[in-house]
């Protein structure tokens, strides 16, 4: 068995993904999925980088592209329109303008930056050498909480992305995760299992089992995403993702529509 929906798929508009959205849809059906959701990187609000996100001017093209996929596959695949937006403190206003531009089915909030450092960007990898890893983890979790509290997001993406290159804290950060899970629960935000970590140096799903257990115990709703940047990534390792969810204690996951939980699916 695999989860029926992949909610984290990109498009070539971000400048670093390949394949047409139609090809992602075809791959999804081949993988046995019933539902997909695109969540391409929202235009950056703090700078412009055509290799990381589309520009604000390209947003209408994004909507049109996905709406075309939705129409084409209307009798065989449910297609949701989401977006993955960065949380950058101080830019909430600019971010909310983008998020209010379209009736998204869900918005994934992601933390890829600590201050101005793109900690998961291979081009900024060398900055890790000058960092206190424990502090990076604490800063990261504080940002996740701050992100959730803005109320601008529905799902938090890859919630232990700091481990991407294999850096591990010396200190026990369990309490940071517990606090974060409580905030998600209070804010009514879901967490995703993101299988792309298996394709990264850390070679683990985001988040790790011990982390996911804390979210399950706190009663935080769950979604699944492959973070596909090419059609062959769609639904990738979803068998492992489902196994992880069960092991963590999840008995169900959720589907979104119009920025609300549409229904729950039993595992
Ligand atoms: Zn990307
Ligand atoms: Fe991301
Ligand atoms: Fe992504
Ligand atoms: Zn992502």
Can you give the CATH number for the domain in which 98 is found?
3.20.20.140
Ligand nearest to the CA of 228: 3
d(CA 32, CA 34): 7
41 Cα–ligand 1 center, Å: 7
Model pLDDT, residue 140: 98
175 Cα–ligand 3 center, Å: 26
Q: Which two tokens stand for residue 153?
A: 């997001």
Model pLDDT, residue 216: 98
Domain range for 24: 5-266
Residue 250 φ then ψ, to 5°: -80, 135
Q: For residue 133, how far is the Cα from the chain centroid?
A: 23
127 Cα–ligand 1 center, Å: 20
Model pLDDT, residue 122: 95
212 Cα–ligand 1 center, Å: 23
173 Cα–ligand 1 center, Å: 27
Ligand nearest to the CA of 229: 1
108 Cα–ligand 2 center, Å: 9
242 Cα–ligand 2 center, Å: 20
Ligand nearest to the CA of 86: 2
pLDDT in tens, 56-66: 999 999 999 99
In angstroms, the first-to-last Cα distance of the chain is: 9
Q: Which two tokens stand for residue 221?
A: 């709703």
120 Cα–ligand 1 center, Å: 11
Return the closest-CA partner of residue 193 out of 140, 236, 229. Answer: 236
Model pLDDT, residue 47: 83
Reported pTM: 0.97
Ligand nearest to the CA of 118: 2
d(CA 81, CA 96): 17
Model pLDDT, residue 46: 84
Tell me if 5 sits within 8 A of 267, measured CB to CB.
no
Residues of the chain with pLDDT under 50: none
232 Cα–ligand 3 center, Å: 15
Number of structural domains the chain divides into: 1
């Amino acid at each position: 068995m695999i989860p029926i929906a992949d909610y984290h798929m990109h498009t070539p508009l971000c400048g670093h993904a390949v394949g047409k959205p139609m090809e992602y849809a075809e791959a999804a059906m081949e993988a046995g999925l019933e539902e997909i959701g695109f969540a391409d990187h929202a235009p950056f609000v703090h700078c412009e980088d055509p290799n990381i996100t589309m520009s604000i001017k390209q947003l209408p093209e994004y909507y049109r592209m996905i709406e075309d996929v939705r129409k084409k596959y209307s009798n065989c695949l449910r297609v949701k329109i989401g977006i993955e937006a960065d949380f950058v403190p101080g830019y909430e206003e600019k971010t909310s303008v983008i998020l209010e531009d379209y009736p998204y089915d869900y918005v994934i909030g992601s933390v890829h930056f600590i201050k101005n450092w793109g900690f998961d960007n291979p081009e900024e990898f060398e900055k890790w050498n000058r960092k206190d890893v424990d502090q990076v983890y604490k800063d990261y979790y504080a940002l996740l909480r701050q992100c959730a509290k803005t109320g601008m997001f529905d799902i938090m993406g890859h919630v232990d992305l700091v481990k991407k290159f294999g850096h591990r804290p010396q200190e026990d950060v369990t309490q940071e995760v517990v606090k974060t899970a409580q905030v998600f629960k209070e804010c009514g935000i879901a967490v995703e299992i993101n299988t792309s970590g298996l394709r990264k140096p850390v070679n683990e799903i985001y988040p790790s089992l011990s982390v996911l257990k804390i979210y399950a115990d706190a009663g935080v709703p769950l979604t699944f995403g492959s973070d596909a940047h090419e059609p062959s990534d769609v639904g990738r390792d979803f068998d492992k993702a489902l196994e992880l969810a069960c092991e963590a204690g999840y008995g169900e996951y959720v589907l979104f529509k119009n920025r609300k939980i549409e229904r729950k699916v039993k595992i």
